[in-house]
Structure 1
Amino acid sequence: MKSVARRGSRLSLGLLVLLLSGCLSSGGGSDSDNSTTPPPPAADTRENSVYLQAAAIGVADLDAALKVYKEGLGMTEIKRVIRDDRIEVVLQSADKRGSNVVLMSFTDGVGRNTQQNPGKLVFYVKDPAAFATRFTLAGGRITVPPAPQASVGGIVVGFGRDQDNNLIEITGSDDATDSYFSAFGIGVSDLESARDFYVETLGFEEDQFLQIPGQYDEYILTSPVPGSSALVLMHWTSATPRNYTDNPVKLELAAAQPQRLSDAISEAGENVSQEPAPSADADLNDALVGYASDADGTLLEIRQSIRAYLSGAAIGVADLDAAVTFYTDGLGMQEMERRTRDNREEVVLESADGRGSQVILMGFTDEVTRNYRQNPGKLVFYAKDANVFAQDIRDAGGVMLVEPVDQGPALGNAIVGFARDLDNNLIEIVGDSAASESYFGAFGIGVSDLAAAKAFYADTLGFKVSLFLPIPGQYNEYILQGYGGSALVLMNWTNGTPRNYTDNPVKLEIATASPEAFIETIDTAGERVLQGPDVSEDAGREGELVGFAKDADGTLLEVLLAPWGQPTDAP
């Protein structure tokens, strides 16, 4: 069985740090035209970017369910939400990939049968046998031990049941670190009608139709938005009667335009019980929430999506031509385009491997004095041969601080080195045998308050925290991952050397499902909005929807429309 989870770019940075000596110690806003002509892409011409944000199941005993899902399935509790009739515990996969799983413990005294859910939860795992053992020890029940299945090319597959009799599918996966929630199956009484509703009305994409003889037929549906688990529509063909109606199951659907999704459900003849509106639930903090149901009564919770990723990382440079030469000759990047802004020229670069976010070099033309040599962040590059990469940097005029060296078993034998570019930006070099040549893996920005910056970028803007790393005597950092692109690293230095965190010539280009909602979220969080999303007339950005804001330290955020939200008639 092939993996059906959408896989955004995932960068494992946990083993890539060096406990550094003092050798590392050294170390703009846009006035984009506010014109409204031509008009920006109308909302109803864009893809609505619907995806499965979370899959929720009712449980009879919350404590027992948490034991199975946390200890047995490796998930981590990230929050609890108190609703009128239930407690919801939101869980994230061990690999921090795919949609969340929500356990719903009902408190209204209404009897619900949690034992008859005709769907399934699919987990992709590194070690199926060990995963099955862990699952059993936590209270789960293995019904078909994981074993290679000739019918699906020898992939290891097994099945089990959780404490509420939910079907758990275990599939071996080489790209799993531990495990992740790959797909959620719901039972449907009419498979073809359900397929039409979820594809034609809600905007999911049909990925595959599978028939498991004597068991069930299923449609596997995915979203064009990366980072979510697949949705599987299941209809059983075995003789055992199944209850398809009003199961204690919920699909949390996130959309760029929640009201448009609600309208589509109504037009399809299904029930919308609550139009999207700010939630009164204390734990949801006025989040936009609506409710509907499909033909079988499965609850659909409609949420606002601002799913985003770092599409470009920009740094100011003193000599644009010299910097371009350094980044192409020394770091193997390729020039993609040049853009003219009111106060600067931008050169857009792409990694040799074509992976990760773009790097943008900004040469300012407004004669305002800027200090390019005090950027407290870093650029991380993964290289096939770290030593050759280091020599290329040296040959191009860069300075090597720490030659690439094997960090030993404690750090997974990662090869790591450090350098500085022509403007004193810190360059981290990481060996990666899977790279063809090299790619831009992460961009670090300096922040004056690490906890507050983490709250803003992760808790407010939705970037995922991959890791917190304290580098003793140097810096502490949070490594965040969006839904594509390179990682974003928040860095605060602890070595006693003064750092300039404010108004550095640095820019984050962030692509999101909904620029309007993203900018509104920034405004609600109390940060500075410079320009709401509007059509750009800047050379190289003509006709694109662009907004601008700044974080608490003055780092410029350029907010763009993500590829999965482009107008439906776009080429």
Structure 2
Amino acid sequence: MFQQRLRAALICALLALSSGCLSSGGGGGSAPAPTEPSASRAGPAYLQAIGIGVSDLDAAVALYRDGLGMTERQRLTRDNRIEVVMESADKRGSLVVLMQFTDGVGRNVQQNPGKLAFYVKDPAAFATAFATAGGRIVVPPAPQPSVGNVVVGFGRDQDNNLIEIVGAGDATHSYLSAIGIGVSDLEAARDFYVATFGFEEDQFLSIPGQYDEYILTSPVPGSSALVLMHWTNGAPYDYQDNPIKLELASADPALLADDIEDANLPVNQAPAPSSDADLNGALVGYAEDADGTLLELRRSIRPYLAGAAIGVADLDAAVTFYQDALGMQEVTRRTRDNRDEVVLRSADNKGSQLILMGFTDGEPRDYDRNPGKLVFYTRDPSAFAQSIRDAGGVILVEPVDQGPALGNAVVGFGRDLDNNLIEIVGDDSATESWFGAFGIGVSDLASAKAFYADTLGFKVSLFLPIPGQYNEYILQGYGGSALVLMNWTNGSPRNYTDNPVKLEIGSLSPEGFLETIDDAGQRVDQQMSEDPSRNDELVGYARDADGTVLEVLLAPWGQTAP
């Protein structure tokens, strides 16, 4: 946050020198009193996408692809427009929807008083690519020594939308960090978006003689910030009915529509299955804010891997091993209907929890044939491998540098007391070690990827073939460790069915998550109900096509307001 505010202060200084530019930052100002926390009955929403009208769809797609590094995800034919959905190079932040209207209604796409802010790894290269692809650089990116040499620049796309370029060390290439919209009444707009959608006020910024703005964030992770901007420089700005839309996703869009009506703003269409053929019956509603900005209300089940569970033959021995060998710490113990569970967290307290399951029902289970893996990131891979060996585990491959082709990553492999594969990956940012990914074996890799990514909403990070060993998809939820889908290609027999493993999945909408699984033709064993072993937390159960148990929970950021 401190680094972001340094960038914001710097941007203010640059804007004072750059007439006509818009920005995501400014110097400190006196903000009106903040609003109370959200009273929304729908719980928190998040900004799934920003839609912007464009004059030439093909040219806009080319510029956002070649100039901003974005990837086209899909094309949609809607009732009055064609949309192209674009995703940032780093697959982070909200999506950008380029909209070309087909209804013949005249719209001015050149006067949007907002902006798109990109955090980028290499601002100079980013600006060059943008200009080469047809964009216009207004302020070339340059380091600013007074604020830690943060690099900032500005450009405009072919429809005059402001593109903000900010150097960021956490970017691999680039990602959309913030989306700005112009509003005629800044405080009223803030109150509406905070109270109705559960956004949280992060910062108020003021540039004297230029503009004031609020930066709002969602408690639901993974989306870009929403910036509300009001200009004070005396120039005329049209805040009304601009050809933009905000796609706002929540667990219950119907309740969200009720909250919008309670704010005395119009709901043009109550959330209902869409008649647009390309949306496949997705639940969609429409409303407007006070300036006529279109609000498209969507349902979301946004998931993450809260915990990964493995069955073990000797629970006490497994707990000791994971503590001594891998530096994990015990969080709690649970007695479930057919098993005892010990919940562990990583030494660095990052990633998902690891749950060791000792079954008590007498049913035979094959603990040492699990075709998956556990991936640990560690500061000292060699010492980590030795600790595995010292605790009774086996090291199959000593950690070694994999060379330039794999970014000089240091990787090794071992096995725990139950023969589970442990992948060791060097990570200079780790303090000690952390549980970074959990792999499950799947009999049909393409079908499993379609289920977990296309149906349940995990994001595909990488497809990785290991010749003569296995192929895998690395998926990322919105928090926690990565989920890895693995199918072995080395010819040895693997049992992918009904292994003693479990995925604890947190969701913005657990009920919607189970409904989605049922609609996909997979098995739902239990709807959401209170579980005494988890302090009466609501828990549901389902299975994937290979019988892997999915324990479905309400994500912490999915809690509805009291």
User: Shared topology, TM-score over 0.5?
Assistant: yes
Matches within 5 A, 1:378-393: 378-393=373-388
- Please give the per-residue CA displacement for 1:278-304, whole angstroms capped at 9, x wherever unaligned: 111121111111000001110000000
Q: CA deviation at 1:56?
A: 0.6
User: Is residue 416–residue 429 contact of structure 1 (8 Å, CA) maintained in 2?
Assistant: yes
User: Is residue 47–residue 564 contact of structure 1 (8 Å, CA) maintained in 2?
Assistant: no
User: Is residue 453–residue 490 contact of structure 1 (8 Å, CA) maintained in 2?
Assistant: yes
Q: CA deviation at 1:567?
A: 4.7
Q: Does 1:65 find its partner at 2:60?
A: yes
Q: Does 1:324 find its partner at 2:325?
A: no
Q: Which residue of 2 aligns with 1:186?
A: 181
Secondary structure class of the residue paired with 1:503: coil
Q: Does 1:489 find its partner at 2:488?
A: no
Q: Does 1:157 find its partner at 2:152?
A: yes
Secondary structure class of the residue paired with 2:368: coil
User: Is residue 115–residue 180 contact of structure 2 (8 Å, CA) maintained in 1?
Assistant: yes
Q: Which residue of 1 aligns with 2:540?
A: 547
Q: Which residue of 2 aligns with 1:173?
A: 168
Q: Which runs of 5+ in 1 are unaligned?
A: 5-43
Q: Which residue of 1 aligns with 2:370?
A: 375
User: What is the one-letter code of the residue matched to 1:391?
Assistant: Q
- Please give the per-residue CA displacement for 1:406-438, whole angstroms capped at 9, x wherever unaligned: 111221111000001111110000011110000
- Normalised TM-score (structure 2): 0.92
Identify if the C-alpha distance between structure 1 residues 251 and 200 changes in structure 2 by more than 3 Å, giving closer, same or farther: same
Q: CA deviation at 1:45?
A: 9.2
Matches within 5 A, 1:403-442: 403-442=398-437
Aligned length: 528
Question: Counterparts of 2:178 and 2:207 in 1: how far apart (Å)?
Answer: 17
Secondary structure class of the residue paired with 1:373: helix
Q: Which residue of 2 aligns with 1:400?
A: 395
Secondary structure class of the residue paired with 1:275: strand
Q: Which moved more, 1:195-204 or 1:219-228?
A: 195-204
Secondary structure class of the residue paired with 2:331: strand
Secondary structure class of the residue paired with 1:180: strand
- Normalised TM-score (structure 1): 0.91
User: Is residue 46–residue 566 contact of structure 1 (8 Å, CA) maintained in 2?
Assistant: no
Q: Which residue of 2 aligns with 1:308?
A: 303
Q: CA deviation at 1:243?
A: 1.1
Q: Which residue of 2 aligns with 1:227?
A: 222
Question: Counterparts of 2:403 and 2:41 in 1: how far apart (Å)?
Answer: 50
Question: Counterparts of 1:130 and 1:247 in 2: how far apart (Å)?
Answer: 32
- Please give the per-residue CA displacement for 1:447-490, whole angstroms capped at 9, x wherever unaligned: 01111100100011000000001111111100000000000000
Counterpart selection for 1:90 from 73, 78, 85: 85
Q: CA deviation at 1:50?
A: 0.4
Q: Which residue of 2 aligns with 1:132?
A: 127
Q: Which residue of 1 aligns with 2:333?
A: 338
Identify if the C-alpha distance between structure 1 residues 263 and 45 changes in structure 2 by more than 3 Å, giving closer, same or farther: closer
Q: CA deviation at 1:47?
A: 6.5
Q: Which runs of 5+ in 2 are unaligned?
A: 6-38
Question: Counterparts of 2:144 and 2:206 in 1: how far apart (Å)?
Answer: 15
User: Is residue 40–residue 256 contact of structure 2 (8 Å, CA) maintained in 1?
Assistant: no
Question: Counterparts of 2:74 and 2:432 in 1: how far apart (Å)?
Answer: 40
Secondary structure class of the residue paired with 2:48: strand
Counterpart selection for 1:448 from 443, 446, 459: 443
User: What is the one-letter code of the residue matched to 2:97?
Assistant: V
User: Is residue 196–residue 259 contact of structure 2 (8 Å, CA) maintained in 1?
Assistant: yes
User: Is residue 397–residue 413 contact of structure 2 (8 Å, CA) maintained in 1?
Assistant: yes
Question: Counterparts of 2:381 and 2:315 in 1: how far apart (Å)?
Answer: 26
User: What is the one-letter code of the residue matched to 2:333?
Assistant: R
Question: Counterparts of 2:528 and 2:278 in 1: how far apart (Å)?
Answer: 29
Q: Does 1:471 find its partner at 2:466?
A: yes
Question: Counterparts of 1:150 and 1:243 in 2: how far apart (Å)?
Answer: 36
- Please give the per-residue CA displacement for 1:123-153, whole angstroms capped at 9, x wherever unaligned: 0001111111110001100001112346755
Question: Counterparts of 1:45 and 1:496 in 2: how far apart (Å)?
Answer: 55
User: Is residue 40–residue 197 contact of structure 2 (8 Å, CA) maintained in 1?
Assistant: no
User: What is the one-letter code of the residue matched to 1:501?
Assistant: Y
User: What is the one-letter code of the residue matched to 1:562?
Assistant: A
Secondary structure class of the residue paired with 2:209: coil
Matches within 5 A, 1:29-48: 48=43
User: What is the one-letter code of the residue matched to 2:424?
Assistant: I
Q: Which residue of 2 aligns with 1:24?
A: none
Question: Counterparts of 1:50 and 1:550 in 2: how far apart (Å)?
Answer: 28
Question: Counterparts of 1:202 and 1:443 in 2: how far apart (Å)?
Answer: 33
Q: CA deviation at 1:376?
A: 0.5
Give runs of ≥4 in structure 1 deviating > 6 Å.
Answer: 44-47
For CA contacts below 8 A with separation 6 or more, give which structure has more relative contact order. Answer: 1
Matches within 5 A, 1:177-216: 177-216=172-211
Q: Which residue of 1 aligns with 2:452?
A: 457
Q: Output the aligned Cα RMSD.
A: 1.4
Identify if the C-alpha distance between structure 1 residues 51 and 413 changes in structure 2 by more than 3 Å, giving closer, same or farther: same
Q: Which residue of 2 aligns with 1:524?
A: 519
Identify if the C-alpha distance between structure 1 residues 46 and 404 changes in structure 2 by more than 3 Å, giving closer, same or farther: farther
Q: CA deviation at 1:46?
A: 7.2
Q: CA deviation at 1:214?
A: 2.7
User: Is residue 40–residue 196 contact of structure 2 (8 Å, CA) maintained in 1?
Assistant: no
- Please give the per-residue CA displacement for 1:264-322, whole angstroms capped at 9, x wherever unaligned: 10010101001111111121111111000001110000000101100000000011111
User: Is residue 88–residue 102 contact of structure 1 (8 Å, CA) maintained in 2?
Assistant: yes
User: What is the one-letter code of the residue matched to 1:551?
Assistant: D
User: What is the one-letter code of the residue matched to 1:365?
Assistant: T
User: What is the one-letter code of the residue matched to 2:543?
Assistant: K
User: Is residue 3–residue 182 contact of structure 1 (8 Å, CA) maintained in 2?
Assistant: no
Q: CA deviation at 1:203?
A: 1.4
User: Is residue 42–residue 250 contact of structure 2 (8 Å, CA) maintained in 1?
Assistant: no
Q: Which residue of 2 aligns with 1:10?
A: none
Counterpart selection for 2:557 from 555, 560, 564: 564
User: Is residue 47–residue 565 contact of structure 1 (8 Å, CA) maintained in 2?
Assistant: no
Secondary structure class of the residue paired with 2:493: coil
Q: Does 1:77 find its partner at 2:65?
A: no
User: What is the one-letter code of the residue matched to 2:80?
Assistant: D
Secondary structure class of the residue paired with 2:480: coil
User: What is the one-letter code of the residue matched to 1:230?
Assistant: A
